[in-house]
Amino acid sequence: MLKRGDEWEDGGEPKEPSVFPPTPPIDRAAAALPSRPVELTATERDAIDRANDDARRRRLDAYAAMAPATGEYERPAEPKNSAMILLENVTKVYPGNVVALDDVSLQIDKGEWVFLVGQSGSGKSTLIKLLLKEIDVSRGNLIVGGRSLSKLRHSKVPQLRRNIGCVFQDFKLLPNRTVEQNVAYALEVQGQRRELIARKVPEIINLVGLSDKVARYPHELSGGQQQRVSIARAFVNHPPLLICDEPTGNLDPDTSIGIMQLLYRIQRTGTTVVMATHDREMVDKMRRRVVALEGGRIVRDDRRGGYVTEDPR
């Protein structure tokens, strides 16, 4: 019980002298924040604006360079047997009657690059979890790489995942392993021979530009470097499908470009890329297929879309 509680409530001074030295009165005028930001000269302001604009233009140019060549999407839609991912009226209901995906049908062809956009809770993550069979569909049919996932036995799930490279926002690296060991793990789980691992791992690490970091641990690397490691791990098997869940979500805009260029190069080898993202600049400039989800439904599916509109130009 506080002895002096009542006195304090009264606002009266404690009767006994305090052991603490008296606090000097605060000089409010001196402590106040300047009411206006520090004044910049016109030339300084211009320099900052110009630098910002330059950085932005460089980024936009970099993304635009990864846009498909004209005519790439002019060919007719491919038949169903060329589908890498096929959703037929897929519904996912979580316990508690939470509908995360509501009767979604979607076809993603081999070699395609697809952005999944939508607010948090729109169903993007659920869709990605379904593709990896972390969770099962409630209704409908989901086919990945020609296999129906609802019919896939649990013992075959590791096999499925070895054919899907995953890149996540939080990198999901093994903290107690070096860069080299993290990448090697993806091969070790398949029981690959040691000679093959010893040959392939440095190759792929070189590809992502981390040759000088092979013996480092994830916590010793920057975010962008960690994401490169995770891409190396995802791609070391050369999987036909690469799933990225906001790969640049934790990275600054300039680092993001490097990551996207890496993924672009991977897609150019024929890999299908499905990427959930919130990066408007990137989606608008890369002019790829955009599937927009909202409340568990597809509200937009553009061949050459933008983040919010059909044609960002």
Partner 1 sequence: MSSTRFRWFFGEALRSLKTNFATTLAAVVTVLIVLYIFGIGLSLGTYLKSYTDGVKRDLTIKVWLADSATEAQVGDVQKQLLADPRVDGPSLVYVSQEAALREAQKTYSAEVLHLVGGNPFPASFRVKARDARDSAAIARSVEGFPGLEPATSDLPNPDYGAKVADKVLSVARKVELVIGGVAVILGLAAVLLIGNTIRLSIFARRREVEVMKLVGATNWFVRWPFMLEGMIAGTVGALLAAAGLAASSAFMPSVFESAGTIKTSATTAAQAWPLWQIGALLVLAGLGLGAAGSGLTMRRFLRI
Q: Write out the residues near partner 1 by the rule CB under 8 A.
A: 132, 134, 155, 158-162, 166, 172-176, 185-186, 188-191, 194, 233
DSSP at 27: -
DSSP at 155: G
Least distance to partner 1, CB of residue 269, Å: 20
- Block residue for tokens 């896939």: 152
Q: Is 69 exposed, middle or buried (0-12, 13-18, 19+ CB in 10 A)?
A: exposed
Nearer to partner 1, 166 or 201 (CB): 166
Which positions ≥6 away from 53 have C-beta within 8 Å? none
Nearer to partner 1, 107 or 237 (CB): 237
Cβ neighbours, 10 Å, residue 124: 25
Least distance to partner 1, CB of residue 172, Å: 5
Diameter over CA atoms, the chain: 90
Main-chain phi, psi angles of 116, to 5 degrees:
-105, 120
Least distance to partner 1, CB of residue 147, Å: 14
Residues 207, 218: Cα–Cα separation, whole Å = 18
Nearer to partner 1, 95 or 175 (CB): 175
Least distance to partner 1, CB of residue 154, Å: 9
Nearer to partner 1, 168 or 307 (CB): 168
Nearer to partner 1, 250 or 261 (CB): 250
Sequential DSSP letters for 103-158: EEEEEEETT-EEEEE--TTSSHHHHHHHHTTSS--SEEEEEETTEETTTS-GGGHH
DSSP at 82: G
Which residues are bridge partners to 92 per DSSP? 101
Nearer to partner 1, 16 or 195 (CB): 195
DSSP at 15: S
Least distance to partner 1, CB of residue 186, Å: 5
Residues 291, 303: Cα–Cα separation, whole Å = 9
Least distance to partner 1, CB of residue 162, Å: 4
Least distance to partner 1, CB of residue 282, Å: 24
Nearer to partner 1, 173 or 275 (CB): 173
